[in-house]
Amino acid sequence: MAIEFRPSQALKLFHDLAFALVRDGETDLSARQLAVLLTIYLEAPPHTVRGLAAKLGVTKPVITRALDTMGRLGLLSRRRDDSDRRNVVVQRTVKGALYVERLGDMIVEKANGLPS
């Protein structure tokens, strides 16, 4: 239990974050895309389309499209699994890692600015 704060603080943090994401532009990722991206970068590999779809409770085309979009942005890449060539393994990229890292720093920064 490292982090404890009140709902009002949580909401202000979330507000500031959504606000920053909107104002910065660039990042128009949906909640689904963000969930996929963070799952890939925070949870242990390997990540497959099927696994991500099951984990998020969405259909496979949703994952395919999210990977298309974020792949186009360079935030991740795909590779066929050599041991079972039906599978596609999602791979992290340097650009994606930097993006996620920057996101984490941004949240911390907003949290530090919160009133007590």
Q: Which residues bind DNA (CB under 7 A)?
A: 30, 32-33, 48-51, 53, 58-69, 78, 84-88
Taking the C-alpha atoms of residue 106 and residue 116, their distance in angstroms, rounded to an integer, is: 19
Q: Retrieve residue 91's tokens.
A: 């791979």
Taking the C-alpha atoms of residue 4 and residue 82, their distance in angstroms, rounded to an integer, is: 45
- The DSSP code sequence of 79-113 is EE-SSSTT-EEEEE-HHHHHHHHHHHHHHHHHHHT
- In the complex with DNA, the residue whose CB is nearer, 5 or 19, is 19
Residue 6 interacts with which of DNA, a second copy, none, CB < 5 to 8 Å by class: a second copy
- Site string (28-67) toward a second copy, x via CB under 8 A: xxxxx-xx--xx-xx-------------xxx---------
Q: Could you tell me the smallest distance in angstroms from the CB atom of residue 109 to DNA?
A: 25
Q: Could you tell me the smallest distance in angstroms from the CB atom of residue 19 to DNA?
A: 14
